[in-house]
Structure 1
Amino acid sequence: MPTSTPSDAQKAMYRLIGPDASPDHPPRPENPLAPLKVGNRALSPEHVIELLTPFMSDSRLQGIRNVVAGRTRTVVPVIEGIVNTGNVSAVMRSTEAMGYQDLHVIATDGRYKHSERTAKGAQRWLDVHQWEDSVSCVEHLQDRGYRVAAMYLDDKAVPIESVDFTTPTALVFGNERDGVSESLRAAADLSCVIPMSGFTESFNISVAAAIGLYHARRHRIERQGHHADLSEAEQTRLVARLCMRSVTKAESVLKRVLREQGETS
């Protein structure tokens, strides 16, 4: 039986989500003190940064440090069933630009539509987690202490202004046509909406995400004086990981440097 080949839209979506976002490897709580694997070696984040520093400009490394200093994992955006690659790209850009480190993508059945809008490389700096079903994603986030707030209108929906984003919160945005699925609505902890004054009853998903994430960021700054909240150890580990993403063929470079220094890899 002939096998079907991925469409251009599928390929574009897979490039966005990335190989590290396989549903076979769901995200786990990251230990900020855990070493990073390079070949057979386990290197401390500090050692990775030290070894890769000669392969980056001072401005590049400082830029990574500055961006990481502005990151949070307390608020996590989740997009469910989005089929348009342009909308996924737009949400990624908003997520990364406003200092959120994680993005959870609940995949559809694969019938994607391609758009020329791009993520402008935002996916390179995010931790993108892919899920094949909504309930597993919600349960995982709840197990990690997140309250799951789904963006949709029902009798119990509250204005987004009443949601406290200083506590761990996963903010869910549904797809372009149907919004948040029934299964996710049932599993979520609450529903919330962006108040609207016109005849139009909904925003485009990329606009809704941008507004929602901007509101959460502003709320956090107003309530607690800051948006970013990674510990020093968490920042160091993320800097090391982003250095590995910044240097071309970083793992090969690290293995070569370790050999040159007499350390096996």
Structure 2
Amino acid sequence: MPLLPRRFERLQAVLNRRMADLTVLLEAVDKPHNLSAVLRTCDAVGLLEAHAVSLPGRTRTFNDTAKGSQKWVALHPHPSGAEAVTVLQQQGFRVYGTHLGVNAVDYRSCDFTGPTAFVLGAEKWGLGEATAAAVDQALFVPMGGMVQSLNVSVAAAVLLFEALRQRQAAGLLPTAGEGVPAERRQELLFEWAYPEVARWCRQQGRPYPPLDAEGVITEHLPRTVKLRH
């Protein structure tokens, strides 16, 4: 079946609001419910992608909590938290780690309007020592009760929506695709609209065919390929 115009419009509208300069790094957050809940929040806020470090031998899986958000927010694996932090810093991100160290500051005192990455660890262990030492700034969410911390998915939501609030107040939220490099945006739009065709193109080592204004593939492709979604 051809892609319906309203579906294509929806994909464009979501992609127009994606932000490549806001992300999360999850260290040993391997419980399917927590991982799924964080990715669902990432999608809701408008993150382009997220990052993860899993415990040895653990396979990342999702449950119904994700509501399919793993299809819309790419999750990039890394061998260790410290290495992932270094990669993000080299990409221009200021990296904030949720860690109750002596230098930790209240998250509400931080400026998240620039390229920002939040690093969160599993509730049982928190961040590893090497990861905590590598971040640019440790932060915490103040707690007024007997419990010392939030569930990791809730903490991620608090931080991401604060970043969203700050960017909206500063007039920095993308509305027309300016949050993603143009070339990458076009690639993503095709991958979202035609994931099976995109996979076939990668297997064939060929570029994605162009789309018209209504999301129709304009290049001639084998019929069995063009009907894939």
User: TM-score if structure 1 supplies the norm length?
Assistant: 0.70
Deviations 1:127-185 (A, max 9, x none): 22111111211111111111111011111111111111111111111112101111101
Say whether 1:99 aligns with 2:67.
no
Contact 2:25–2:118, Cα closer than 8 Å, also in 1: yes
Q: Quick one: structure 1 residues 117 and 95, their matched pair in 2 at CA, closer, same or farther if it must change by over 3 Å? A: same
Structure-to-structure mapping, 1:70-89, within 5 angstroms: 70-89=17-36
Moved more, 247-256 or 196-205: 247-256
Aligned counterparts of 2:117 and 2:110: Cα–Cα separation in 1: 11
Question: 189, 195, 213: which is aligned to 1:242?
Answer: 189
Q: CA deviation at 1:233?
A: 7.2
Contact 2:17–2:179, Cα closer than 8 Å, also in 1: no
User: TM-score if structure 2 supplies the norm length?
Assistant: 0.80
SS of 1:109's equivalent? coil
Structure 2 counterpart of 1:226: 172
Contact 1:80–1:173, Cα closer than 8 Å, also in 2: yes
Structure 2 counterpart of 1:197: 144
Aligned counterparts of 2:147 and 2:127: Cα–Cα separation in 1: 18
Code of the aligned partner of 2:18: R
Question: 64, 67, 82: which is aligned to 2:14?
Answer: 67
Aligned counterparts of 1:92 and 1:118: Cα–Cα separation in 2: 9
Structure 1 counterpart of 2:225: none
Structure 2, unpaired ranges of 5+: 202-207, 210-216, 223-229
Say whether 1:165 aligns with 2:123.
no
Say whether 1:142 aligns with 2:128.
no
Aligned counterparts of 1:231 and 1:83: Cα–Cα separation in 2: 32
Code of the aligned partner of 2:56: D
Aligned counterparts of 2:108 and 2:180: Cα–Cα separation in 1: 32
Q: Quick one: structure 1 residues 120 and 182, their matched pair in 2 at CA, closer, same or farther if it must change by over 3 Å? A: same
Contact 2:104–2:139, Cα closer than 8 Å, also in 1: yes
Structure-to-structure mapping, 1:15-94, within 5 angstroms: 55-94=2-41
Q: CA deviation at 1:112?
A: 6.3
Aligned counterparts of 2:113 and 2:132: Cα–Cα separation in 1: 22
Moved more, 194-203 or 249-258: 249-258
Code of the aligned partner of 1:227: L
Code of the aligned partner of 2:9: Q
SS of 2:112's equivalent? coil
Structure 1, unpaired ranges of 5+: 1-53, 261-265
Aligned counterparts of 1:154 and 1:62: Cα–Cα separation in 2: 46
Code of the aligned partner of 2:85: V
Q: CA deviation at 1:218?
A: 0.6
SS of 2:139's equivalent? strand
Contact 1:80–1:174, Cα closer than 8 Å, also in 2: yes
Q: Quick one: structure 1 residues 117 and 233, their matched pair in 2 at CA, closer, same or farther if it must change by over 3 Å? A: closer
Q: Quick one: structure 1 residues 167 and 105, their matched pair in 2 at CA, closer, same or farther if it must change by over 3 Å? A: same
Aligned counterparts of 1:233 and 1:86: Cα–Cα separation in 2: 29
Aligned counterparts of 1:176 and 1:193: Cα–Cα separation in 2: 13
Please, what is the CA RMSD of the aligned residues? 2.7
Code of the aligned partner of 1:135: A
